[in-house]
Structure 1
């Protein structure tokens, strides 16, 4: 297990997504990526950083399209089967997929939460490419859409922190609950 050390770049909680694209022959490709954030404003974008050489990067650059599906514990085996570091060719995991609702991207059927995105801008820094992808459609499972707020205990996203996975614990309040009154 990695242990924190002084002055070594480290990162903490990162939500895991499966980035979906199509290969040139139409084959669906999903890659687990945790370097993801959002922009606040118009247009709303996902910001996705992908390091190294991956077909997913080539597909995004070729088509300008991608999906991003929130990984929940039920999708972890599939996510790891799509990760070159953890894939086991003797244990292939398959999940049902569908085409996007507004873009030609692969989606995982019945997933809790997913985005359909169109590439706006790419920033290259060494072998890392950071993509700003406009969110064209948010797909939310019906039971989640009926919640009073996006309750992460119900959505149950997988959180990555160096070499480990976690899920969300307690709801400890709303914004403003801890402000001086």
Structure 2
């Protein structure tokens, strides 16, 4: 296989999408769409997350040191795309008809529709020039009970929940189907109040 050198890119390296849930300074739930999320090990499983630039989500995490990471599925993609493409400082952003619950362990908002949710507590912030890495303890995992029961294979369960991936500024299904460019699925979102 012949290769060429490129400027830094992560094209063709799909990443799973999560909606990070926080509360703003007025106690209102806010969600932002992120994919720079992976796992660490330091005596137990942890999470590393990165947020680049200036974002309300990052400000909220700094203030509270906790957030939820809600796995994005195909069913949720129009909502997730809307939340990812709408500025968190827009006062109308969260005027939505969506079911938001409270975390079981941490004071974080949780999307009822997400089948897997991490409740995360930030242990360390690593500041970079225009981004920040957060090393987090997983304080709780909320998982749809059908995923935790012994029925069906892991593949069956992944196919059923259909998590969404992103690469090349596009969304893809678990099975590889193109679900549209960033900013397109939100046109199908009808959950505004």
Question: For the residues of structure 2 that align with 1:148 and 1:47, how far apart are their CA atoms?
Answer: 30
Structure 2: runs of 5+ lacking an equivalent? 177-193
Q: State the aligned residue count.
A: 165
Question: For the residues of structure 2 that align with 1:51 and 1:149, how far apart are their CA atoms?
Answer: 37
- Among 152, 159, 167, the residue aligned to 1:153: 159
User: CA offset at residue 74 of structure 1?
Assistant: 1.2
Runs of 4+ deviating beyond 6 Å: 86-90
User: CA offset at residue 76 of structure 1?
Assistant: 1.0
User: CA offset at residue 149 of structure 1?
Assistant: 5.0
- 2:100 corresponds in structure 1 to 97
- 2:184 corresponds in structure 1 to none
1:110-165 Cα deviation digits (max 9, x unpaired): 42101001110011111101111110000110111124554322331100012111
**What TM-score results when the alignment is normalised by the length of structure 1?**
0.82
Matches within 5 A, 1:159-170: 159-169=165-175
Question: For the residues of structure 2 that align with 1:164 and 1:149, how far apart are their CA atoms?
Answer: 28
Q: Which secondary structure state, in structure 2, belongs to the residue aligned with residue 83 of structure 1?
A: helix
**What TM-score results when the alignment is normalised by the length of structure 2?**
0.77
CA contact (8 A) 2:76 2:113 kept: no
User: CA offset at residue 85 of structure 1?
Assistant: 5.8
Q: Which secondary structure state, in structure 2, belongs to the residue aligned with residue 24 of structure 1?
A: coil
Q: Which secondary structure state, in structure 1, belongs to the residue aligned with residue 106 of structure 2?
A: coil
CA contact (8 A) 2:18 2:33 kept: yes
Are positions 1:123 and 2:129 aligned together?
Answer: no
Name the structure with the higher helix share: 2
Are positions 1:48 and 2:49 aligned together?
Answer: yes
Q: CA RMSD in A?
A: 2.3
Q: Which secondary structure state, in structure 1, belongs to the residue aligned with residue 84 of structure 2?
A: coil
Question: For the residues of structure 2 that align with 1:68 and 1:42, how far apart are their CA atoms?
Answer: 21
User: CA offset at residue 93 of structure 1?
Assistant: 5.0
Distance change >3 Å, CA 149–CA 139, structure 1 → 2: farther
